[in-house]
Structure 1
Amino acid sequence: MRRGLPGSGKMARKRPRIFADAFVSDDSGGSDYEVDEHEIPNDHIGGVSFSEEENDDGSNSSDSEVLKSALYQKYKEQYNKVKKIEKEMLRALNHEDKRAKPVIEKKKDAFTRFSASYFSKVIDSLDENKRSIIEKHGFGSLIEFDKCFVPNKFAMWVAQPIDYRSGDIIVKDKVISLIEDAVHYVLDLPMGCIEFPIDYSSGKSRLLSQFNLQSLPPAKYFGDMLIDKKPVMDEEAVTCFLIVALNCFPCPNCSVTPSNRYLGIFEDINNVRKYNWCSFVRSWLLERIKSFNKTKFSADDPPSLGGCLYLIAVMYLDFVNCNARQPSLQIPRILVWKGTMLRDFSDLDLVSTGVYGFRPLLEISATCYSKQSIFLHTSASSASMNSEFKNKLDEYSQCKLPEKLKTGICKAIEEHCFNSSLSVNMDITSLASLSSDLEQTFSTLLEHVYSVDSRSMMLVLKVIGLIAENGPAVSEASHQTSEQNTTPESDVRNYSTPHMRGAQTV
């Protein structure tokens, strides 16, 4: 039986179904992929042979040519659609793979909220009136802070050799003493006689009522009040500034809200400069360095480093020998270290990634701290930290003096020693070429220079001893003088002028 073409009344050869309906649907739209005709075999497409087909009688059918051409065009159209779908599916699968891949983030060093950028933004928003009010309260130096960022790796490197018990930075057999006075010379914060109150409840209550708050908001709440230039009273402006400053700069913590530990000072904002800010900032820093150095380092969970990182960075770099690049010796140091200086100078001391100490360290006599006699004595300590001297104050006065009075005496001695200090930068080995008499003279002069503080302490003790020994006599003499000054009215007439006596007689 002959096989005929469709419509010819003859049975035609059954055409294979090339693609599924889902792939040949007209909904797929136009194709952005055009098939290369060379990719399609000339003699076989989708199982359909395109070789000349012969009839049973050996003749070629013209309808076969038409069918071959129609199938070829249909196949080309469907082939383009399939290629387009294939391309879209591959793109979708690649996108899913990227989303499914776990993103391995580089573990960042864990630091507390030392936000130089936000603190600088608050400072820039202050007008002249607010700056003047803040300066009157004793915090004008903080306004001088100028976006001085501390590199994280450098801060970690400096913190590791710090002895949290003494506050000494020990590097290359050199000791850089991080004492209260150092905090004052770097940040110029108040060094009052009153320690920060332990009981913060009254200060916190005062703060909440002052701003009509039910709970303590983030520090940014107070900073935004200054940035947005909202109308605030002078006391409120100082309070907002100090809260932001404490949270961002001298005493940052891991929380966005201010710490309760320093809220007690806000009970009376007008007396805020009477507190010992330098002592509090130093203690805050050493506590966090202690926690940092006692925690085991882990790449997955690095320890946090808090406190005033600017302070330790400046203290160390002030001792790094940069030759002609050495910064100004001006004090306070917050007026000197600005902008990118900490980053730039730490790069000069870089050994390898995260490791510093490339340059030698200076002797203290060559630094800005040489003007302060307390740093020149490795064997002596501050009078306020000398417990033996404080005990002698009670011994010489023959009574138990108030702690506030003893602290005031110590501060007076230290100020006297600072003003009387002398920086001597001299190579001791050069004395070997001098005669024995001159060598002895130089030694005597140096001993005299370096004993200013001890001689000042002895002077105070002697004065107190003299007052104690002569206390009853001084009291009696004072009493007699008071009685002599209180004379009867009749005696007054004896000391009056003749003119007055004549007037009274009349």
Structure 2
Amino acid sequence: MNAQSVEFVLGIPSRETIINTKEEEAGKQAFLVLFGLTEVPTIKFFGNKLMNEDMSDDQIIRCFLVVALSTFLCPTSNTKPSTKYMGALVNVEQLKQLNWCMFVHDWELMYIKKYQKEKLKQNRTMMTLGGCIYHLAVRCLDFTDFGSIQIPSLMPRICVWKGDMVKHLSDMTIGRDGKYGCLTIKEVSETCYKDGTFEWESTIKNSNFRKAINNVAGNSLSDKVKEDIFLAYKNHMKNEDLNTCIKAKGLLLDTIRIITNASGESGDTVKVGSTGTKLNASQQSNN
């Protein structure tokens, strides 16, 4: 269990920038100002805004992430969202540069420890476990031997474990005594995580990338060349993790942008086909 396992299961950003929780109060105030608030509202407040109000793109993203964090990624028993991540939601442009995997992992561990401590102290049989329960459940199921039932090995696992699949297969692990754990646990070498030989779901790793190439290249490249670039990227990145793919996308798009801008500045044309570059009229006359 580590931050990488969160990436494998959820496919959320795992970039270099650590989410700062030390300036929690300042982050909270900066976030509340964006909504014209002085106190933290309930989670329902942000859900209602998503469903019922017209907002800017940035506000939609903030409201969505508050709901996602407080109900799925980093939930607690509180009806209000935590102020620990509010500061991270102020600058929407930086959201993808943050290490959300580490944040979710640390949150999970913190609440597991809290759960264990409180349960021993109070001797209670019913308590709320904070953190991403879905992540824990999927990791457990991926290490469970279901015999002849073959589970696809695509990453992130959220593309596989969806619908009623978690419940149906979890029910298979319940023994006659009503407790979980009646099936055999697999070694790592027997799971989808072995040796990094898994494939990432194309809808996640390649999401909108074909369209992005077309938007950046415009008419400077032929449709065939743009498709060849996309297929080359897809082939080279098929066994890489999501973070590496994001970096590769950025590098490739920047390279295309530099080339097309240089062609425009020099007066070159621009239509590059699969067999070469088509020259503009002045170049053709010189030749």
TM-score normalized by the length of structure 2: 0.64
User: Could you tell me the percent identity over the aligned residues?
Assistant: 34
TM-align CA RMSD: 2.2
Q: Which residue of 1 aligns with 2:102?
A: 279
* Aligned pairs (5 A) from 1:65-464: 178-197=1-20, 198-228=22-52, 230-294=53-117, 295-296=119-120, 302-372=126-196, 419=240
d(CA) in 1 for partners of 2:126 and 2:147?
36
Describe the shift of the 1:225–1:419 C-alpha distance in structure 2 as closer, same or farther (beyond 3 A). closer
Q: After superposition, what is the alpha-carbon deviation per residue over 1:316-352, rounded to whole angstroms, capped at 9, x for unaligned?
A: 1001111232321110001111122111111111114
The one-letter amino acid of 2:4's match is D
Offset, 1:293: 2.1
Offset, 1:366: 2.5
Q: Which residue of 2 aligns with 1:494?
A: none
Q: Which residue of 2 aligns with 1:61?
A: none
Describe the shift of the 1:296–1:303 C-alpha distance in structure 2 as closer, same or farther (beyond 3 A). farther
8 A Cα contact 1:204 1:266, kept in partner: no
Structure 1 stretches lacking a partner, 5+ long: 1-177, 374-415, 421-506
8 A Cα contact 1:190 1:276, kept in partner: yes
Q: After superposition, what is the alpha-carbon deviation per residue over 1:117-155, rounded to whole angstroms, capped at 9, x for unaligned?
A: xxxxxxxxxxxxxxxxxxxxxxxxxxxxxxxxxxxxxxx
Offset, 1:365: 2.3
d(CA) in 2 for partners of 1:336 and 1:301?
32
8 A Cα contact 2:173 2:180, kept in partner: yes
Structure 2 stretches lacking a partner, 5+ long: 198-236, 242-287
8 A Cα contact 1:319 1:364, kept in partner: yes
Describe the shift of the 1:260–1:316 C-alpha distance in structure 2 as closer, same or farther (beyond 3 A). same
Offset, 1:310: 0.5
Offset, 1:363: 2.4
The one-letter amino acid of 1:307's match is G
Residues matched between the structures, number: 199
8 A Cα contact 2:75 2:132, kept in partner: yes
SS, match of residue 58 in structure 2: helix
d(CA) in 2 for partners of 1:258 and 1:419?
34
SS, match of residue 261 in structure 1: coil
8 A Cα contact 1:202 1:267, kept in partner: no
The one-letter amino acid of 2:136's match is I
Query: Relative contact order, CA 8 A, sep 6+: which one is greater?
Result: 2
Describe the shift of the 1:204–1:343 C-alpha distance in structure 2 as closer, same or farther (beyond 3 A). same
SS, match of residue 368 in structure 1: coil
8 A Cα contact 1:265 1:272, kept in partner: yes
SS, match of residue 355 in structure 1: coil
d(CA) in 2 for partners of 1:225 and 1:214?
17
Describe the shift of the 1:227–1:201 C-alpha distance in structure 2 as closer, same or farther (beyond 3 A). same
SS, match of residue 75 in structure 2: coil
The one-letter amino acid of 1:196's match is I
Q: After superposition, what is the alpha-carbon deviation per residue over 1:96-117, rounded to whole angstroms, capped at 9, x for unaligned?
A: xxxxxxxxxxxxxxxxxxxxxx
TM-score normalized by the length of structure 1: 0.37
SS, match of residue 120 in structure 2: coil
Greater Rg by CA: 1
The one-letter amino acid of 1:265's match is A
SS, match of residue 86 in structure 2: helix
8 A Cα contact 2:42 2:81, kept in partner: yes
Q: After superposition, what is the alpha-carbon deviation per residue over 1:151-178, rounded to whole angstroms, capped at 9, x for unaligned?
A: xxxxxxxxxxxxxxxxxxxxxxxxxxx1
